[in-house]
Amino acid sequence: MATAGKAVEAIGLRKDFGKFRAVDGIDLEVRQGEIFGVLGPNGAGKTTALRMLATLLPIDGGRAEVFGVDVATEPHRIRQLIGITGQYASVDEDMTATENLWMFGRLQGLRSADARATARRLLAQFSLEEAADRPIAQFSGGMRRRLDLAASLITRPPLIFLDEPTTGLDPRTAARCGTRSAAWSTRAAPCSSPRSTSTRPTSWPGASPCWTGGARSPRGHRSS
């Protein structure tokens, strides 16, 4: 099923919860170097589809691949290729911003010094340097969201899934975070031209909330 240049491909993706069908035969294709948005109303199955692609839920029907790797049969390989930020912050409120990012780095196989350096770099990129040593319990909702987004980029995965990534962010911060995601995708794509990154939405029936995927070539990616 995989074709050169495809980061994600799903055919007939289906998920049932008892008698309720949450995702009904979704076809999806995301190319390398692309930022891809999925739009739809609450309850349309967007997060469920994302969770299947990220190996967090089993696939009940259809097939899905990430960079040619089958999601259902090789979930451990998939987890080495992706980063994910869910709808709700996954940070520890009793730890500081630096400690949270350091911990995530260590869990993903970075050496202690590398994890600390990565934490400093990401805090700077997401304008959180001044809050680096404050416990997360003192953070605003937008600051927590920025930290959560930073955590998804610790190992610079070739594919990131962002579920409603701008929730809790003011328009200016949301725009800056979007620019950083685009820069990440372009910088790591096989072609250095800005045209190697595009933004393409697809819609479930309805409108509004969104999850986004940014993809680049997995070449040279080091898994933990």
> Would you place residue 171 in the very low, low, confident or very high pLDDT band (cuts 50, 70, 90)?
low
pLDDT in tens, 21-70: 999 998 989 888 888 888 888 888 888 999 999 999 999 999 999 999 99
Q: CA–CA separation, 169 vs 147, rounded Å?
A: 12
Residue with tokens 């979704």: 26
pLDDT at 148 over 90: no
The proportion of the chain whose per-residue pLDDT surpasses 90, expressed as a percent, equals: 41
Tell me which of 180 and 9 has the higher pLDDT: 9
Q: What band does 166 get if pLDDT is binned at 50, 70 and 90?
A: low
**Average pLDDT, rounded, for the chain:** 78
